Chain A
Amino acid sequence: MNIVVLMKHVVDTGAIRIDRTTRQPILRGSLTKISDYDKNAIEEAIRIKEKLGAKVTLLSVSPSEAALTSLREGVAMGADDAILISTGTEYLFDNYVIATAIVNAIKKFIGEYDLILAGEISEDLSQGYIPAVVATMLGIPFIGSVRKIEVLDKKVRVERRMEEYIETLESPIPVLLSVTREINKPRIPTTLQIKRVPLAKIRTYTLQDVGVSKDNVMTYLEKLEAEEMSKRKGVILSGSPDEIATKLLEYLKKEGVLE
């Protein structure tokens, strides 16, 4: 069984700094990591491998340098192979360009696959679109928001939680599934395990190698700007816990927000 995991290397959104004058996020030099949701996808692929035997290939379309660290981490978790389609130093924002690069890389460098797994959304753009469009371009079914996967003979049975109900679906293989963070608890490889993964293990290609031009976009990112937050009162309450509790309840009563 061949499993491909779509993995995105992202800026750690918890650590983004904002330039005070321009109100723009400072992305250069920011901490980066594997998008959390994709870690669950990698973990799930490895669990299937451990149970049924499979070859797990990671595929990422990301800026090169930092993404290598993430791909090595994924290999240290237990993936067999890793492919990076390098975008140079740039983060791509156009769905069409990213999806085409993924699809062409799968066709050209991977070939056969039974299962493609991805995180439900990426941590940086939170769209959840790439899985649907990659599946459609490949001509295979897509099922999103999966929290349980059972691999059966030539098909998968999956469970997912929608807005109002829980459902179980079956789909023939090959299929692309996007997974939620409920599905498992990803293992954490040690720094030593990550360092032991040779760089040569990661096959690196360019956008050109997969026949994609960055200019071929449907949307342009025009600007990124920090959202204005409305000012709050910021009244600091101090004293002993008892005094603080009393003061707080008085304030809340005055504000008319208590029952």
Chain B
Amino acid sequence: MTKLFRPQPSDPSSIACHHGYRRLRSNHDGFSRTLFSMGSHTFAWGRRVGSGPRFALSTRVETETWSMRVNRRAFVRSCAGAAGALLVPWPRPVPTLRFAIVQIADGRTFGDGAALGYAEARQAATLFQKGTIEAVHVFHDALPVKVAGIATLLAKRGAQVIVAGLNDADTRTAALECDRAGAIFINCGARNDTLRRETCSPFVFHVEASNAMYETARGLAPAGTELTLWSDRLEKYGAAQLNDRFRVAEGAGMRSDDWGGWMAIKVVWESFLRTGKADAVSIASYMSTDGVAFDGHKGVPLSFRTWDHQLRQPLYAVSQSSSAPPREIPDTSRTAGSIRELLDALGEGASEMKCPR
């Protein structure tokens, strides 16, 4: 029920504390919760388990309250960390990047991957004294509720970036709200091609592959395979290391949606650290710059297509009946030419996807 990574003070090698977060699980009141405590910050979400009244989507989930309920010591540590932070003189105001992670029942479940992404974002930010990263709030629930208004509210609360795993309709609603509010929206749930045209905006990005990409890849994939963004069987190009980190943090293999959540957060924190700016316009503009690429442990540079802000990436054909290694689609190891052009063979090209920007 409880899983902890606690540094042993006597052992200098353990100070890493596994990317600096502790994880606890609790389901004492019918909610399975995950809690990350990182210095003065606590990051949590819960999932309703069993039957009973459904957990209403709330913007009032105060993570500190949760940590007190779950673990008093974690709370005390959080307060001590906050007090310590106040005592340290800071030469100038630092930009703060605020994420919100939104996920509801009939969307895709990518929360565990987002949690690892968030923990790593915080760890990377601590290397530089030019910014901090916070999670504004996390919605994670088993209830299909109305998403309308949520993105606007989160943007008002200071979230520059909203990462969401939602169905097509809710993705459309939230993405358009973000466009109006000037917050970055990263789609980790919807594959719909029409949606991509309708939500075309400087602020809207897609980490989940489009239906058009899956369809092209299907033609190249062996029979009896499922097409995914990721597989916990991948090993090359640092995939084994990412899979290990995820397995240790979450106790399970990293699934396709987990990778999506992790990657969405990684592209944002990396853009934040590289630009040194926390505003949505600067980050979105960096993310969509032609020539800017990110590493997602897939062995090739991943970038957003300028015409539809779709992440260029290989997919994997994973055999459902055997434990054979996943096949990369398209096979980027066999090209002598441009990997970028090869990846653009998946999905809609610039001519098909006209964005009235």
- Do A and B share a complex? no
- By a beta-carbon cutoff of 8 Å, the part of chain A in contact with chain B is none
Interface residues of B (CB under 8 A from A): none
